[in-house]
A and B are shown apart, each in its own frame.
Chain A
Amino acid sequence: MIEVQHITKRYGRVTAVDDVSFRVEKGEILGFLGPNGAGKTTTMRILTGYMPPSEGRAVVAGFDVFDHPIDAKRRTGYLPETPPLYPDMSVREYLDFVAKIKGVAPRDRKQRVTTVMERTRVADMANRHCGKLSKGYRQRVGLAQALIHNPEVLILDEPTAGLDPKQIIETRDLIRSLAGDHTVVLSTHILPEVAQTCQRVVIINKGRVVAVDTPDNLTARLKGAATMYVQIDAAGADAAAALSAVPGVTRVASADQRGVMAADTVPLAATGPVAFEVESEPEVDVRRDLARAVVTRGWGLLELRPVRMSLEDVFLQVTTEERPEEAPHA
């Protein structure tokens, strides 16, 4: 549905987007994840035909956005970073105007306006001037505007920015409900949002695509070394040493409520259970050996489970990995 091929965008000497390529299938929700200034907005502006790329091409709903902008734009709904509202217009007037310029047939217009207002929960503010709306309402009117012509493709730049927690949940539900009929690309720097709403993630940093995958796969794939969480009832014993001795284990760290710290900096627990994070070489399943090591010493094995990295860890990992490469240029 969306195909981005080797897009590069330069502003003078600054390269905002550098050779970005990805595809979005029909009905899919793609998350665009990256720190501020990574090139998310620029990429979205190119996809919506707001600006042309310096190099490369983008095809949206079967139309090249540069060669056939009108056809592509007719099939695209776009929520920019700041909702593009006219402060002097009421919400209803505004949506009616947007419907006109988006090419909604005159006889359907009134009905479309009502439908999107209900869907985005702004109907109670229909006659309020856009300039007098709260941030949350502005954002939702912006979303209503993007939906007005029932586009095949939706490009949403930080759709939940400025919403309160309840509204965030409602908006995510709305976006999820759009999948299937619509193809959605949304950008965010809020990590859990991607895991909850998106089927696939593009992580972008400094204008380059760092990773493209499902949230689950990304978490699993980028874990690198496998990590186990082990909780043992071994009062007074040097459990860390025993676990380190297991073949395949590369590192043992204490993991209590205060967070993870290196095992040798933690005094031995006098009483009660102790918890560790045990890292092992990839591809080696150390679970049996860990269990045996604990049980044969007569300690109680309270918990043994693989640790999944949160998307946040993945994100930090992939975006920090880039830095050593960039360093020589600086």
Chain B
Amino acid sequence: MRNTLAIADKEVRSYFASPIAYIIIGLFALLFGFFFYVYLMAFNQQSQQMMQFGGGGGANINQMMIRGLFQNAAVIILFVMPMITMRTYSEEKRSGTIELLLTSPVSDLEIILGKYLGALTLYATMLLVTMIYMGILFKIGQPEWRPIATGYLGLLLMGGCFLSAGLLISSLTKNQIVAGFLTFATFLMLWIINWPGEYSGPTTRDLLNYLSITQHFDDFARGVIDTKDVAYYLSFITFGLFLTAKSVDSERWRG
């Protein structure tokens, strides 16, 4: 555990020592803010219209705004995550520092968990910064806090899956660009895998929907925590980390 924390600490420091962390956090906050603004404007207009025509009791800010905002945040995350994970292993392999880690009295699992925890910390920081917008929302309206909380939990879990898959891909190659692009392609595939489901039989559709990483996010964005979705995300993360451990071990045998 102490080793895991030491490595996580090192990872976080290295993110923040380079411009990467600041660029990722900054751009994510900017894009999130852009979507926030667009949705706020749309909500504003709609609620004014509803008031004019006397729609019962005003518009629901949670349903109309927050859900869409979180779904769009998930899209941004798809693009941002490869940048976090692409260097985790690749860089250590390229610079030779992997020799230090693998010859230290630390288990492979401790190294992997440390790296994962480091990346997750950066990701959590990203999400934390966007809570500023939620603060603004509470200032100007009366949204329910629960769907917002579940939305953030959903983003954290979904991002956790991306990080776990990204770590695995990074452990397979020395080349950051290759790792980055492969990660992006994999995420995109996980994203759109349920699209053909619309044109196929019910079994295939259900299967593809279950596999799709975003399908499980919708419930969270609506304010529902479904154990099925949580189980999907947690098992995805565990499986990714398990395969990373296998990849690191096999690398050792191949030399």
| A residues with CB within 8 A of B | 9, 11, 42, 45, 48-52, 69-71, 73-74, 76, 78, 80-89, 93, 97-98, 100-103, 145
B1 on interface, CB distance cutoff 8 Å = no
B95 on interface, CB distance cutoff 8 Å = yes
Give Cα A226 to B219, complex, Å: 89
Question: Contact partner of B103 among A42, A49, A82, CB < 8 A?
Answer: A49
Give Cα A85 to B101, complex, Å: 11
In terms of DSSP, what is the predominant structure of the interface of chain B? helix
Give Cα A103 to B106, complex, Å: 9
B200 on interface, CB distance cutoff 8 Å = no
- Chosen A-B contacts, 16 in total, with CB atoms closer than 8 Å, are A11-B255, A45-B255, A50-B252, A69-B105, A73-B105, A74-B105, A78-B99, A78-B103, A84-B97, A85-B95, A86-B14, A86-B97, A97-B9, A100-B2, A101-B7, A101-B106
B18 near A88 with CB under 8 A, answer yes
Closest Cβ of chain B to A55, distance in Å, is 13
Question: Contact partner of A51 among B2, B7, B13, B253, CB < 8 A?
Answer: B253
Among residues of B, the one whose C-beta sits closest to the C-beta of A75 is B105
Closest Cβ of chain B to A82, distance in Å, is 4
Query: Which of B6, B105, B106 has the most chain A CB within a 10 Å cutoff?
Result: B105
Among residues of B, the one whose C-beta sits closest to the C-beta of A82 is B96
A9 near B255 with CB under 8 A, answer yes
Closest Cβ of chain B to A182, distance in Å, is 16
For A51, the chain B residues whose CB sits under 8 A away are 252-253, 255
- CB contact under 8 A between A50 and B99, given known A97-B6, A100-B3, A101-B104: yes
Closest Cβ of chain A to B116, distance in Å, is 16
B136 on interface, CB distance cutoff 8 Å = no
Give Cα A82 to B253, complex, Å: 21
- One digit per residue, 1 when the CB lies within 8 angstroms of any chain A CB and 0 when it does not, for chain B 87-119 equals 000000001111111111111000000000000
For A11, the chain B residues whose CB sits under 8 A away are 254-255
B10 near A97 with CB under 8 A, answer yes
| B residues with CB within 8 A of A | 2-3, 6-7, 9-10, 13-14, 17-18, 95-107, 252-255
- CB contact under 8 A between A80 and B96, given known A70-B105, A74-B105, A101-B104: yes
- CB contact under 8 A between A50 and B14, given known A84-B95, A84-B97: no
Give Cα A245 to B69, complex, Å: 103
Among residues of B, the one whose C-beta sits closest to the C-beta of A90 is B17
Among residues of A, the one whose C-beta sits closest to the C-beta of B108 is A69
Give Cα A289 to B255, complex, Å: 59
Not counting A50-B252, A100-B2, a sample of 8 additional A-B residue pairs whose C-beta atoms are within 8 angstroms of each other reads A70-B107, A86-B14, A86-B97, A89-B10, A89-B17, A101-B7, A101-B105, A102-B104
A89 near B13 with CB under 8 A, answer yes
Closest Cβ of chain B to A37, distance in Å, is 14
For B105, the chain A residues whose CB sits under 8 A away are 69-71, 73-74, 101-103
Closest Cβ of chain A to B246, distance in Å, is 15
For A97, the chain B residues whose CB sits under 8 A away are 6, 9-10
Among residues of A, the one whose C-beta sits closest to the C-beta of B2 is A100
Question: Contact partner of B14 among A9, A48, A88, A102, CB < 8 A?
Answer: A88
B103 near A98 with CB under 8 A, answer no
B13 near A88 with CB under 8 A, answer yes
B104 near A73 with CB under 8 A, answer yes
Give Cα A204 to B12, complex, Å: 43
- CB contact under 8 A between A100 and B6, given known A50-B102, A52-B253, A70-B105: yes
Give Cα A102 to B101, complex, Å: 9
For B102, the chain A residues whose CB sits under 8 A away are 49-50
Closest Cβ of chain B to A149, distance in Å, is 9
Question: Contact partner of B100 among A42, A45, A98, CB < 8 A?
Answer: A98
For A74, the chain B residues whose CB sits under 8 A away are 105
A84 near B17 with CB under 8 A, answer no
Give Cα A249 to B72, complex, Å: 93
Among residues of A, the one whose C-beta sits closest to the C-beta of B104 is A101
Among residues of B, the one whose C-beta sits closest to the C-beta of A142 is B100
Give Cα A103 to B101, complex, Å: 12
For B99, the chain A residues whose CB sits under 8 A away are 45, 50, 78, 80, 84
For A81, the chain B residues whose CB sits under 8 A away are 96
Question: Contact partner of B17 among A45, A69, A88, CB < 8 A?
Answer: A88
Give Cα A87 to B94, complex, Å: 12
Among residues of A, the one whose C-beta sits closest to the C-beta of B249 is A52
Closest Cβ of chain A to B132, distance in Å, is 28
Give Cα A78 to B252, complex, Å: 17
